[in-house]
Amino acid sequence: MNSVLSAHDQRILDTILGPNDILAPRKLIDESRRPDQWVPTEQVEKYVLLEANARELAQNNEIEKALGIFDKIITDSPLYASAYNNRAQTKRLLYPDEAAPEGVISDLKMAIKLSQPKAALLQISKMQALVLHNSYFQLAAVYLAQSKLPENWEKAWSLHMKSSEMMVEASVYGDHMSAAIGKIVNPYAQLNAETFETMMKPFY
């Protein structure tokens, strides 16, 4: 019996071997869809304003206050994906010397889980695509940072591969630059991973 590659496996294979075309965001996004598939639009509008306020607080170095806002949103609406992505980013700002502050990876995975379409091949909203792009991009940065820790030297290769895979996923929901960076960090691409690290420095 012939084996069939999953969509995920095909994207990774395309990145290793050189894709003809990474799936473009326009094929995935339906601009008529409501922003969040789980949370009513009226609530989303309220949360977007709260998130903007939290980001402003974080920019003014009031990071713990910002974190408190995201905590409250998640307590109020645990199915709201954007808050998990933003809380993860805020935790990384609060603990800049840690490769993966407590809860960051689980928050990013939850944001991804909640933003993925309810059924295969369904299109998603622009907001879902943004959350998926940002969450996968952050996961790539976290895995890369973990790969550089001395205690992870035996897992460095695996973590680099995970980072590359997350960048490919980010490119599906964002732009082709993410796919290009994914190819740079991918050991199979036989390119210098330090180039990727240089490009990623602003994000971790």
DSSP letter for each residue of 141-196: HHHHHHHTSGGGGGGHHHHHHHHHHHHHHHHHHS-HHHHHHHHHH-GGGT--HHHH
pLDDT tens by residue, 44-100: 999 999 999 999 999 899 999 999 999 999 999 999 999 999 999 999 988 887 877
Q: Where are the domains of the chain?
A: 7-203
User: Domain 7-203 is classified in which CATH homologous superfamily?
Assistant: Tetratricopeptide repeat domain (1.25.40.10)
Write down the pLDDT at residue 25.
Answer: 45
Buried b (16+ CB within 10 A) or exposed e, 33-63: bebbbebeeebbeebeebbeebbebbeeeeb
* pTM, entire model: 0.74
pLDDT tens by residue, 109-147: 999 999 998 877 688 999 999 999 999 999 999 998 888
> Cα(33)–Cα(123) distance, rounded to whole angstroms?
8
Confidence of residue 16 (pLDDT cuts 50, 70, 90): very low
Write down the pLDDT at residue 170.
Answer: 87
Write down the pLDDT at residue 149.
Answer: 85
